[in-house]
Structure 1
Amino acid sequence: MTTTQVPEIELDHVSMRYQTDKSEVLALEEVTVDIRKGEFVSLLGPSGCGKTTLLRIMADLIQPTNGEIKIAGGTAKEARLAQKYGIVFQSPVLYDWRKIKKNITLPLEMMGIGKEEREKRVDSLLELVGLTDFKEKYPWQLSGGMQQRVAIARALAIEPEILLMDEPFSALDEFSRERLNEELLSIWSKVSNTVVFVTHSISEAIFLSDRVFVLSPHPGRLSAVVEIPLPRPRTKEMRNRKEFYELISEIRDSFEGV
């Protein structure tokens, strides 16, 4: 659901090197991408190709060795300080001693948002992710998929322009994962922010995305940018269409050295 062609995220020849005790490791090499405002894109590649590193660079959690990053025309640091990011990690990272509603409220408390506004915003998010009936439960009383929905709601609580998601469904079984894919798209259709989603699942990337950025095996280079022309809203039946399988083949063929 692309709302405009203006880049929200721009990475220009970004590289990342790590110094270990024995040698220097090149994690990313000369990655250049533009992500449009309101676009849903996936960073796809095998383990160790630098997907998470690239996401962390976008979020200003680590600094690249070389290259330039712009977020909405400014720096990544400016975007982070302006609370433009919401981040969902592979693990939900919920606080077991806080009830679901209180877990979602936490970032708003830290920002000093007033109680009335906090209550209004969190109740709306609980409805958005379908967890209103579970707001007084504790995280350990919820399934893994429900916990990730709480994590998504918490990330959206600050009303970020950009949602960064690092393999949020990888620990779930295939059935739960596909259901969460559908629920994520339903949520995204209502909030319409820019989403960058890290995954090593080709079918997941295709089902969710407007475009897929394919990273080669180590070191991570941009192998291909694949447009996903499947209509929205996406339905589970699309996974069985000929076009879906053709996109899987196209992406598999795009990996360098494979």
Structure 2
Amino acid sequence: MSLATPEIQLDQISMTYQTNDTEVLALQDVSVDIQKGEFVSLLGPSGCGKTTLLRIMADLIQPTGGEVTVDGSSAREARLAQKYGIVFQSPVLYDWRKVKQNINLPLELMGIEKKEREQRVDYLLKLVGLDDFKNKYPWQLSGGMQQRVAIARALAMEPEILLMDEPFSALDEFTRERLNEELLSIWSEVNNTVVFVTHSIPESIFLSDRVLVLSPHPGRLSAVMEIPLPRPRTKEMRNSPEFFQLITTIRNSFEGV
């Protein structure tokens, strides 16, 4: 990786939740640097703090310890500067708005001039392969197509950083693998930084430059795994000896294994 100044720096991030009768330590002293243009996955079992860490990066919640720096600024300053695009596990689309109108929504809210909005929406529809479905409503689309709309909407403001919280976890395996390939095609076009939450080891390997392995509760950085597979990634790589060796290595990196 480049030795340039990291785009995202996590310094000793910890998160403690207060319940009715006790405190729950969700994250403990997570420190990592993420370079500009890098595709990084946060990998770990359910409850290890992956989503919590992503939400801290996005300035949606505040850590109880540590600091997030984005291009030398705070996470809050990065959020206010529209540096983030976020894709959640559920597409969260408005059923009464057509596909193109859902993608257009953040541009409307930011007061972007109509002609520019239309040009940007047309570009994004082509980018995610939904140009023929722009006048459909979300309920007329498959789950995978709805997530592509959500990705296009997240990219509408041309964010420098795309944060994705298990966006394909509710899909069947065949659709999920196809959307992995489509996501990498979109990423190669947009060239932004991606932080991708998943509990799937194969998915993390196929997508990423690096995989950040979080231990079970409380979430700690258990391992940082470089993925040496060449790009562009191809579906044939999933069946290679190198791919299966990476699965084994990452599986064994979890604490207690």
What is the rounded CA distance, in whole Å, between the counterparts of 2:89 and 2:24 in structure 1?
Answer: 24
d(CA) in 2 for partners of 1:98 and 1:161?
Answer: 26
Q: Name the SS of the counterpart of 1:238 in structure 2.
A: helix
Alignment partner of 1:158: what SS? coil
Who is 1:240 aligned against? 239
What SS is found at the alignment partner of 2:73?
coil
Please give the alpha-carbon distance, in whole angstroms, between the structure 2 residues aligned to 1:52 and 1:253: 22
**2:103 match:** 104
Partner of 1:52: 51
Query: Displacement of 1:75 after TM fit?
Result: 0.3
Alignment of 1:54-203 (within 5 A): 54-203=53-202
Q: After the TM superposition, which parts of structure 1 deviate over 2 Å for at least 4 consecutive aligned residues?
A: 2-6
Deviation of 1:4 after TM superposition, in Å, equals: 7.0
| Alpha-carbon distance in structure 1 between the residues aligned to 2:142 and 2:10 | 37
CA contact 1:7–1:35 (8 Å) conserved in 2: yes
- CA shift, 1:6, in A, is 2.6
Is the CA contact 1:4–1:38 (under 8 Å) kept in the aligned structure 2? no
Q: Please report how far the alpha carbon of residue 68 of structure 1 lies from its aligned counterpart in structure 2 after TM superposition.
A: 1.1
TM-score by length of structure 1 reads 0.98
User: Which residue identity lines up with residue 174 of structure 2 in the other structure?
Assistant: F
| Amino acid paired to 1:83 | Q
Q: Could you tell me whether the CA contact under 8 Å between 1:213 and 1:226 is conserved in 2?
A: yes
CA displacement at 1:110 relative to structure 2: 0.2
Look up the SS of the partner of 1:254 in the other structure.
Answer: coil
Aligned residue for 2:214? 215
Percent identical pairs in the alignment equals 81
For 2:38 and 2:2, the matched residues in 1 are separated by 7
Give the conservation status (yes or no) of the 8 Å contact 1:4–1:37: no
Is the partner of 1:172 in helix, strand or coil?
coil
Q: Tell whether the 8 Å contact from 1:226 to 1:251 is kept in structure 2 after alignment.
A: yes
Task: Encode CA deviations 1:203-230: one digit per residue, 9 max, x unaligned.
Answer: 0000000000000000000000000000
Q: Distance in 1 between matches of 2:194 and 2:5?
A: 15
> C-alpha distance in 2, partners of 1:88/1:57?
15
CA contact (8 A) 1:15 1:65 kept: yes
Shift of 1:87: 0.1
Query: Could you give the per-residue CA deviations for residues 52-77 of structure 1, whole angstroms, max 9, x where no partner exists?
Result: 00000000000000001101110000
1:21-71 Cα distance to aligned partner (Å, 9 max, x none): 011000000000100000000000000000000000000000000001101
Q: Is the 8 A contact 1:9 1:72 kept in 2?
A: yes
Q: Which amino acid aligns with 1:20?
A: T
Q: Which amino acid aligns with 2:14?
A: S
Alignment partner, residue 16 of structure 1: 15
CA distance in 2, matches of 1:34, 1:154: 27
Q: How far apart in 2 are the matches of 1:249 and 1:86?
A: 32
Q: Alpha-carbon deviations, 1:164-188, whole Å to 9, x = none? A: 0000000000000000000000000
Q: Distance in 2 between matches of 1:79 and 1:91?
A: 24
The residue aligned with 2:26 is: 27
Output the TM-score relative to the length of structure 2. Answer: 0.99
- Aligned residue in 2 for 1:256: 255
Q: Contact 1:3 / 1:39 at 8 angstroms: preserved in 2?
A: no
Give the superposition deviation at 1:5: 3.3
What are the ranges of 5 or more consecutive residues in structure 2 without an aligned counterpart?
none
Q: Residues 182 and 135 (structure 1 numbering): CA distance in 2 closer, same or farther, change over 3 Å?
A: same
Structure 1 match to 2:38: 39
